[in-house]
Amino acid sequence: MTLPNYVSDGAGAGISWCHALRCPRCRGRLRDEEGLRCDACAVTYPVENGIPRFVPPDTYAEGFGYQWNRHRLTQLDSHSGLPITRDRLLRATGWSSEDLHGRTLLECGSGAGRFTEVLCQTGAQVTSFDISSAVQANAASNGRFPNLRLVQASVYEAPFPEESFDYLFCFGVIQHTPDVERTFKTLFRYLRPGGRFCVDVYAAMVAYPHPRQLLRPVTKRIPPARLYSLVDQVVPRLLPLSMALSAVPKAGPYLARLVPVANHRHLGLTDPEMIRNWSVLDTFDWLAPRYERPQPRRRLARWARELGLREFSIRRDRGLYVIGGVK
């Protein structure tokens, strides 16, 4: 099975288009004509740095674009030298490299491409998209993979044919979108019947309260560059306290959460600069998003039933629910 060549190759070495690509507005076919032009509605979408762009430069996800271009390498296994992302992906999904090899996979919300890297290494034919300028960071890090296709688009208006992918993967995304139910249900339009999926979402606040919620009404309104500067100054001062509290037997994880900085003690990072960078990145990631809407397990189960998803399970993984199964 081969990937339809309907978006840029990862290296940006040229654009070759397949009739499968659809206009997000009218679902008409697109052709390469000084960008991508829809034959039906005559709208033209730009292609910049080899990446088709189906959203305007400024969206509600501006902060994500800022953070991932600042921290393009931070969470990549190839940078940390540890299989942190690979282990998390394979553990959460239950998929193996053998399962994915040669299969078409849609990654929704790629960020800087930490999971993209692992997915490409399995030999899957990966189409990855993000609404933010993070696609540029992903291309810079993972453009070496010939089995990667990148697009900048919104999940609500993605330019892919329906029911065209064997696998669907979406981590760290849906709680940060304007309408979580709509996002969750829209994702499955692109997965073929019998295809496998894995999606995660923050667990509802009743299950996972966190003091950052007291700060977010203010911080989410601060321009990304200014907020990042504040976080970059505060984290080195508070992280040692959080680390000390987290070392307290039994109560450590609960005590550490009283300090509103991200603490990755459980990941086994040892390099001080790397520990700091992970903390700065994830603390900013907590405070910057315009939307953060955790979901209860019961609601997720209802949505899955309404979609007719089969063999689905909902598992708790720290502060997340991971939903997996078959369409």
- Comparing CA positions, the residue from 66, 126, 72 lying closest to residue 97 is 126
**HEC letters along 186-202:** HHHHHEEEEEEEEEEEE
Torsion of CA 168, 184, 51, 67, to 10 degrees: -110
Half-sphere exposure for 91 (CA within 13 Å, toward CB): 9
- Looking at per-residue confidence, does 51 or 18 come out higher? 51
8 A C-beta contact, residue 163 and residue 192: yes
Query: For residue 6, what pLDDT is reported?
Result: 36
8 A C-beta contact, residue 47 and residue 135: no
Task: Identify the band that residue 33 occupies on the pLDDT scale cut at 50, 70 and 90.
Answer: confident
Q: pTM of the predicted model, to two decimals?
A: 0.92
Average pLDDT over residues 150-156: 95
Taking CA atoms, 315 is separated from 116, 180, 292, in Å, by 23, 18, 20
- Comparing CA positions, the residue from 296, 301, 243 lying closest to residue 272 is 243
Q: In this structure, what token pair is assigned to residue 210?
A: 């966190």
Query: For residue 4, what pLDDT is reported?
Result: 39
pLDDT tens profile 56-70: 988 899 999 999 999
CA dist., res. 130 & res. 113, Å (int): 10
pLDDT greater than 50 at residue 298:
yes
Return the number of other C-beta atoms located less than 10 Å from residue 150's C-beta. Answer: 28
CA dist., res. 143 & res. 77, Å (int): 16
8 A C-beta contact, residue 107 and residue 115: yes
Q: Which SS3 state, helix, strand or coil, does residue 61 take?
A: coil
